[in-house]
């Protein structure tokens, strides 16, 4: 694709906006409309309708940021796999279009004056600008839309089911059609390609509204321009180091501005501030709280295969339905949203056949290469017929941390998956129930099955208001330096966050413009045209609130096991208790997760047994949909010097000439690794086994918990023996 490079023409502006996503587009639009000299820089390209990549033979034709600054950037960040976009319009180019408002309970931990009522006028403004509406009922609904409604009725979720508002143009009046801002747009053709860039031009992406208005009002644009760090000039201005891509070699330059608005996404904005403080030392006085409050928005991605009817995930907008679900119990409620998803066959085929250019393959770490191989294997399971895609989002603890690690200042996210397990378990259970109600078999991503690593497309936090920034988005102790994107949010939004990010940005930029211009009455010009729009999610939340909480006392069980052997030539012993609080939820979970606690002992590292409090066991999880199963142990412990280690172990339960069910289920291949290396292809360095007497003790240690009785133990036995039997009796695919 031919593209004329665009770079900033000057080295000073009154205001500089970094990033063109939901926060940046709002900021540059309102600043320009207020007559402020403003520029916006974006590390990606323009992507007009018809230009999004479709060539499956060339990764360097626009697919990956790492390959010629393309559309996608997938980041394995240790405890979480984050996916983000690069392009003029940010995440709006590839998101699933859902424009949802957060319910009032989400704002309980936000600083004053935030509340749902306080944000309502800004929600209305954002909905007007993005021109949102649900899938119309005057044309044939996509198959997945109808199937999700049927599943909701069968499972008792009908009262929380709705068609969410989407930032999509559905009406098509033919050639010459424009939107309310005079920008050419056509109507949706239900081609199912929202998440790889809409070549029809029906998505109401930010370049069709906010960014178009900004340029019309005089904003200057710099593309393929990446911000590296921010510093000060000594005279009240900020200087920003930029790297311009697209030249024969990248060109670095500095631009100054009195006001800087960081809007590069939760990861991008936080990373720039961390590098400015910790790597380059250009803003040493930034708050110590920068990096705190990371949230994956409770995202959980799951799938189902072999449904009883065509789900057709490649037909229609990516998301068309949602169900608000009230999980947990009265003492620990967990609300979340479960939505249908979709994928284009283009993206599945691209991953299946992916071959990296040689210049990129040489830069791949061992863990990235391993993850890529797993992604290829996973993509082979996807078909655009009877495969379901489900996305859940909920209120996680938002207690992760974004940080730079090591001499190379590598970006990473520290995320306590175990603490958020109850939410993930509820989301998995609900997703699995939908798949089974539609006659299919649930399965999950390899990152979850192998590492219990969730995938998030909604990164939030890092510069949370109230602790790192003011409620108006100004970084504490740094007048004129603002953060106006998902990094500012102090927690998950309970659903799709784009409209909340946009509404918060509208509120904050209104106050910033008033301060910069000295006009206390300034308002966005479009305010006069705004009429409130229905928010179907509100009716769903209200219906579930009226129903009241449901007390659950699930049937669970626990048992103890002891394994002995060696690792790295040193004697080792594991004494673990396996805890399954909810047996049905564990069975419904395709990864079959249980928790571990107890002790570990490794000669040379622990003179006495080290405590294990938050280990995990994936009990007979399927491998790529075939008959093989794995039992994967993740056992974290601390040695006598206080250093953290992870004992990683796997039992491969599969048919082979050197194995049988007894050997497969009693021998554990193990390695002791640094926790940061857990996502590498770990090579076993030892073996541990359960002896015959210990197997007998394991069986006698089985105890029901909760409302469970003897029948719970029998059900667990049936599950265990059934999974092992499938592994050894079913033919390999």
368 token code pair: 């990235």
- Which pLDDT belongs to residue 122? 98
pLDDT at 702: 96
Do residues 565 and 531 both lie within one domain?
no
In this predicted structure, which of 108-112, 157-161, 421-425, 592-596 has the lowest mean pLDDT?
A: 421-425
Chain segment 686-709, per-residue pLDDT in tens: 999 999 999 999 999 999 999 989
Q: Indicate the DSSP class of residue 475.
A: B
State percent of the chain over pLDDT 90: 66
Rounded average pLDDT over 667-675:
92
Whether residue 353 is predicted with pLDDT greater than 90 in this model: the reply is: no
| pLDDT value at 731 more than 80 | no
CA distance 271 to 462: 9
Distance, in Å, from the CA atom of 572 to the CA atom of 119, rounded to the nearest integer, reads: 57
**Same domain? 531 vs 568:** no
CATH number of the structural domain spanning residue 193: 3.50.50.60
Domain end among 546, 576, 601: 546
Measure Cα distances from 182 to 212, 213, 233 in Å: 9, 10, 40
| Model pLDDT, residue 98 | 97
pLDDT bracket for residue 150 (50, 70, 90): very high
DSSP calls for 527-588: GGG------HHHHHHHHHHHH-------EEEEEEEEEEEEETTEEEEEEEEEEES-HHHHHH
Q: Angle at CA 720, nearest 5°, toward 718 and 724?
A: 115
Q: What pLDDT digit, counting tens, does each position of 266-299 carry?
A: 999 999 999 999 999 999 999 999 999 999 999 9
673: in domain: yes
Which of the pair, 467 or 79, is modelled with greater confidence?
Answer: 467
Single out the residue of 655, 656, 636 nearest to residue 645, CA to CA.
636
Q: Residue 343's CB: how many other CB atoms inside 10 A?
A: 22
| Boundary of a domain, candidates 512, 546, 580 | 546
Segment 437-458 shows an average pLDDT of 77
Of 209, 215, 197, the closest CA to residue 47 belongs to 197
Mean pLDDT, the chain, rounded, equals 89
Least confident segment among 117-121, 229-233, 274-278, 441-445: 441-445
Residues 154-183 pLDDT 10s:
998 899 999 999 999 999 999 999 999 999
> Quick one: pLDDT band at residue 600, thresholds 50, 70, 90?
very high
Residue 350 covered by a domain:
yes
Which residues are CB-contacts of 611 (< 8 A; sequence separation ≥ 6)? 598, 599, 637
Q: Which residue has the higher pLDDT, 445 or 143?
A: 143
Residues 403 and 296 in one domain: yes
2 in a structural domain: no
Give the model confidence (pLDDT) of 604-629 as tens digits.
Answer: 999 999 999 889 999 998 876 678 99
Please check the confidence at residue 598 and state whether its pLDDT lies above 60: yes
Question: Partners of 236 in the beta sheet?
Answer: none
State whether 523 and 577 are in the same domain.
no
Instruction: Using DSSP, state whether 592 is helix, strand or coil.
Output: coil
Specify whether the CB–CB gap between 267 and 520 falls below 8 A: no
pLDDT tens sequence across 360-418: 555 555 555 655 665 666 656 666 678 898 999 999 999 999 999 888 888 888 887 77
Residues 185 and 248 in one domain: yes
542 lies in the same domain as 639 = no
Q: Which pLDDT score, from 0 to 100, does residue 379 have?
A: 59
- Looking at the domain assignment, is residue 504 inside a domain? yes
The single residue listed with the structure tokens 């998505």 is: 203
What global pTM score does this model have?
Answer: 0.88
Q: Examine the domain organization and report whether 356 and 439 are in the same domain.
A: yes
Q: Does any domain span residue 7?
A: no
Residues 6+ apart with CB under 8 A from 141: 135, 316, 320
How many CB atoms neighbour CB 520 within 10 A? 8
Query: 411: which 2 tokens?
Result: 């970006």
CA 491 – CA 580 distance, rounded (Å): 29
For residues 594 and 707, membership in a common domain is answered with yes
Residue 414 has what pLDDT?
Answer: 85
Q: Categorize the per-residue pLDDT at 2 as very low, low, confident or very high, splitting at 50, 70 and 90.
A: very low
Q: State whether 507 and 575 are in the same domain.
A: no
Which of 508, 524, 546 represents a domain boundary (last residue)?
A: 546
In a domain, 4, yes or no: no
The percent of residues in the chain predicted with pLDDT above 70, rounded, is 89
Q: Identify whether 620 is part of a domain.
A: yes
Euclidean distance between the first and final Cα of the chain, in Å?
41
- The pLDDT score that the predictor gives to residue 415 is 81
The pLDDT score that the predictor gives to residue 256 is: 98
Three-state DSSP class for residue 713: helix
Please state the φ and ψ torsions of residue 260, each to the nearest 5 degrees. -125, 130
Note whether 590 and 532 are same-domain residues: no
DSSP state of 485: S
Q: Is residue 402 part of a domain?
A: yes
Token pair for 103: 């319910």
pLDDT of residue 185: 95
- Residue 521 CB contacts under 8 Å (≥ 6 apart), including other chains: 514
Q: Which residues pair with 602 in a beta bridge?
A: 572
232 contacts: CB under 8 Å, gap ≥ 6: 238, 239, 282, 283
- Kindly state the tokens that stand for 134: 């649900």
Q: Are residues 461 and 378 in the same domain?
A: yes
Same domain, yes or no, for 25 and 109? yes
Q: Is the pLDDT of residue 1 over 50?
A: no
Q: Where are the beta strands (DSSP E) in 180-313?
A: 220-223, 225-232, 238-244, 251-262, 292-294, 300-305
- Structural domain of 249: 12-546
Q: Concatenated DSSP letters for 493-541?
A: -SS--HHHHHHHHHHHHHHHHHHHH--TT---GGGGG------HHHHHH
3-class state of residue 401 by DSSP: strand
- If one counts the domains in the chain, the total is 2
Contact of 190 with 142, CB cutoff 8 Å = yes
Instruction: Give the DSSP letter string of 665-679.
Output: HHEEEEEEE-GGGTT
Judged by DSSP in three states, 110 sits in coil
Distance CA 577, CA 561 (A): 6
Closest by CA position to 318, among listed 494, 501, 136, 142: 142
State the alpha helices, DSSP H only, in 618-687.
Answer: 661-666
């Amino acid at each position: 694709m031919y593209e004329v490079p665009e770079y900033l023409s000057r080295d000073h502006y009154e205001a500089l906006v970094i990033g063109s996503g939901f926060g940046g587009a709002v900021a540059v639009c309102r600043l320009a409309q207020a007559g402020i000299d403003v520029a916006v820089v974006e590390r990606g390209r323009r992507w007009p309708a018809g230009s999004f990549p479709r060539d499956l033979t060339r990764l360097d034709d626009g697919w990956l940021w790492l390959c010629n600054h393309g559309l996608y950037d997938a980041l394995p960040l240790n405890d979480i796999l984050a996916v983000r976009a690069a392009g003029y319009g940010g995440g709006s180019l590839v998101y699933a279009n859902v424009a949802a408002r957060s319910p009032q309970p989400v704002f309980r931990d936000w600083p004053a004056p935030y509340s749902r009522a306080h944000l309502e006028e800004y929600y209305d403004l954002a909905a007007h600008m993005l021109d949102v509406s649900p899938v119309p009922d005057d044309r044939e609904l996509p198959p997945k839309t109808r199937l999700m409604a049927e599943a909701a009725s069968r499972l008792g979720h009908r009262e929380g089911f709705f068609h969410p508002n989407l930032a999509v143009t559905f009406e098509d009046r033919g050639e010459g059609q424009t939107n309310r801002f005079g920008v050419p747009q056509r109507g949706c053709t239900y081609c199912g390609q929202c998440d790889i860039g809409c070549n029809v031009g029906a998505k109401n992406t930010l370049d069709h509204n906010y960014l178009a208005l900004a340029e019309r009002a005089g904003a200057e644009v710099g593309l393929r321009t990446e911000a590296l760090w921010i510093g000060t000039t000594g005279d009240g201005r900020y200087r920003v180091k930029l790297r311009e891509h697209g030249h024969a070699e990248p060109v670095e330059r500095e631009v100054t501005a009195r006001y800087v608005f960081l809007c590069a996404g939760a990861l991008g904005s936080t990373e720039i501030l961390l590098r400015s403080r910790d790597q380059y030392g250009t803003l040493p006085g930034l708050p110590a709280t920068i990096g705190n409050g990371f949230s994956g928005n409770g995202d959980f991605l799951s799938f189902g295969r072999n449904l009883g009817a065509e789900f057709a995930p490649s037909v229609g907008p990516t998301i068309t339905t949602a169900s608000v679900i009230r999980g947990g119990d009265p003492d620990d409620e967990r609300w979340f949203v479960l939505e249908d998803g979709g994928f284009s066959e283009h993206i599945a085929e691209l991953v299946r056949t992916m071959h990296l250019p040689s210049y990129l393959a040489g830069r791949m770490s061992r863990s990235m290469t391993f993850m890529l191989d797993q992604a290829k294997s996973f993509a082979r399971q996807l078909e655009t017929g009877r495969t379901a895609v489900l996305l859940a989002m909920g209120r996680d603890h938002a207690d992760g941390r974004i940080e730079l690690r090591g001499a190379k200042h590598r970006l990473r996210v520290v995320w306590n998956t175990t603490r958020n397990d109850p939410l993930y378990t509820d989301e998995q259970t609900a997703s699995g129930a939908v798949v089974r109600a539609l006659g299919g078999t649930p399965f999950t991503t390899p990152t979850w099955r192998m590492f219990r690593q969730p995938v998030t497309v909604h990164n939030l936090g890092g510069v949370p208001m109230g602790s790192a920034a003011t409620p108006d988005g100004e970084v504490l102790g740094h007048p004129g330096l603002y953060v106006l994107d998902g990094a500012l949010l102090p927690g998950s939004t309970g659903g799709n966050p784009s409209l909340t990010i946009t509404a918060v940005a509208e509120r904050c930029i209104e106050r910033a413009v008033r301060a910069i211009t000295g006009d206390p009455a300034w308002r966005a010009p479009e305010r006069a045209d705004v009429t409130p729009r229905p928010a179907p999610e509100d009716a769903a939340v209200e219906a579930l609130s009226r129903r009241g909480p449901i007390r659950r006392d699930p049937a669970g069980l626990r048992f103890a096991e002891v394994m002995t052997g060696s690792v790295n030539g040193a004697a080792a012993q594991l004494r673990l208790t396996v805890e399954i609080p909810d047996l049905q939820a564990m069975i419904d979970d395709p990864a079959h997760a249980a928790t571990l606690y107890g002790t570990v002992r490794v000669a040379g590292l622990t003179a006495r047994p080290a405590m294990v409090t938050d280990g995990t066991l994936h009990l007979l999880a399927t491998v790529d949909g075939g008959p093989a199963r794995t039992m994967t142990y993740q056992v974290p412990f601390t040695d006598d010097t206080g250093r953290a280690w992870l004992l990683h172990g796997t039992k491969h339960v599969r048919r082979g000439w050197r194995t049988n069910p007894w050997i497969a289920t009693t021998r554990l291949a193990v390695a002791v690794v640094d926790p940061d290396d857990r996502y590498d292809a770990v090579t076993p360095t030892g073996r541990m086994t359960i002896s015959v007497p210990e197997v007998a003790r394991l069986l006698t240690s089985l105890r029901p918990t909760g409302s469970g009785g003897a029948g719970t133990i029998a059900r667990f036995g049936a599950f265990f023996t059934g999974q092992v039997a499938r592994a050894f009796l079913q033919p390999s695919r």
